[in-house]
Amino acid sequence: MDHADLIEEIMALKRQRNAVILAHSYQRPEIQDIADFVGDSLALARHAKQAECDVIAFCGVRFMAETACILNPTRTVLLPDAEAHCSLEASCPAEELADFLKKNHEKNYYVIAYINCSIGVKALADVIVTSGNAHIIVAHAPQDRPILFVPDSNLGAWCARRTGRAITLWNGACHVHRLFTRDHILRAKKEHPEAEVVCHPECEEVVRLLADHICSTEKMIDYCRESGAKSFIIATEVGILHRLRKLVPGKEFIPVQLGQCSCAECEFMKLNTIEKLRNCLRDMTPRVEVSEELRLRALQPLQRMLEFSH
């Protein structure tokens, strides 16, 4: 079957199932191009909450599809590849967090959880954040309670620096953003001295210190559009370059080279393919389902986040 036939089949299945296709900016270009909406975790959560359809085909990783289930429980949520996980989520198992909170009960931590975590971790949190709103929510955290930030130590440290708040950091990180080193950035800057460096807050501090701007994937688009610069070195998963080139024409986007011809790719995000998207809409599987008890507990901190970020 050629690509055009496959696209036509997906469109027909979408109508038949009354489905919407949501995709994260790290998805393969052909998935982004067919999606009804492409965005960062925050925009995807908002869209999932409002989706008026029977089925959400979520082209992203599991925690994003789970978030859709939490916010819009009457929809069927499909994830094209059931193995699309996230290393950051894996770095904070819910049982370990529960154990830590129990052992440190007297501290009465205000738990801020980055959305890249399991529903079990969300259920233990006071509030959820994304890379797009984390610093604002941290700044508004209660002054009379110590903050525990899970699971991303890099995003947490960036928020601490931006807000001046003391934060206890969980020792988690994203294996993709960890790949960028000071040397990679310095080499890219040497090769493209005119370019600005834009990085995701999941990058290590040595990389963040070399960046002209640090922001979520969504804000990268606004920043590059509005900046006077004509070229940008982008330190995040390479999938965002497709969106940047589409939405900000006339400017140059340079992925940070990690080796001779390799860029930073999230293998979990890339597990979803256009064929698997067709298959999930055709077979109505793999589905993402969550327990109602956990859903109700995770809903509160998620709603708190959405109220903050109008």
Residues that bind ligand 13P (CB under 6 A): 25, 40-41, 116, 130-131, 174, 200, 202, 216-217
**148 or 176: CB nearest ligand SF4:** 176
Q: Which of 57, 237, 238, 244 binds ligand SF4 (CB under 6 A)?
A: 237
**Positions in 22-61 near ligand SF4 (CB under 6 A):** 61
CA 302, distance to chain mean position in Å, is 15
DSSP of 84-121: ---HHHHTS-HHHHHHHHHHTGGG--EEEEESSS-HHH
Residue selected from 57, 268, 286, 288 as contacting ligand SF4 according to rule CB under 6 A: 268
Q: What is the C-alpha to C-alpha distance for residues 185 and 201, in angstroms, rounded to an integer?
A: 15
Which has the closest alpha carbon to 84: 96, 66, 72?
Answer: 66
User: Which one, 17 or 24, has the nearer CB to ligand SF4?
Assistant: 24
Residue with structure tokens 């080796």?
259
Q: Is 217 in the site for ligand SF4 (CB under 6 A)?
A: no
Q: Which does 130 bind (CB under 5 to 8 A by kind): ligand 13P, ligand SF4, none?
A: ligand 13P
268 binds, among ligand SF4, ligand 13P, none (CB under 5 to 8 A by kind): ligand SF4
By CB under 6 A, name the one of 116, 153, 272, 279 that touches ligand SF4: 116
Sign of CA dihedral 226, 229, 230, 236: negative
Span near ligand SF4 by CB under 6 A; candidates 157-165, 216-224, 265-273, 293-301: 265-273
- Min dist CB 237 to ligand 13P, Å, is 6
Rounded distance between C-alpha atoms, residue 306 and residue 70, angstroms:
13
List Cα–Cα distances, 41 to 128, 223, 254, in angstroms: 11, 18, 23
Q: Of ligand 13P, ligand SF4, none, which one sits near residue 40, judging by CB under 5 to 8 A according to partner kind?
A: ligand 13P
**DSSP 3-state of 1:** coil
Nearest to 25 by CA among 238, 253, 204: 238
Crossing angle of helices 62-71 and 292-308, rounded to 10°: 90
Taking contact as CB under 6 A, which single stretch among the options 7-15, 126-134, 206-214, 266-274 is the one that binds ligand SF4?
266-274
CB of 218 to ligand SF4, least distance (A): 14
Q: How far apart are CA 172 and CA 26, in angstroms?
A: 20
Among ligand SF4, ligand 13P, none, what binds residue 216 when CB lies within 5 to 8 Å by partner kind?
ligand 13P
Q: Contact residues for ligand SF4 (CB under 6 A)?
A: 61, 86-88, 116, 174, 176, 202, 237, 266, 268-269
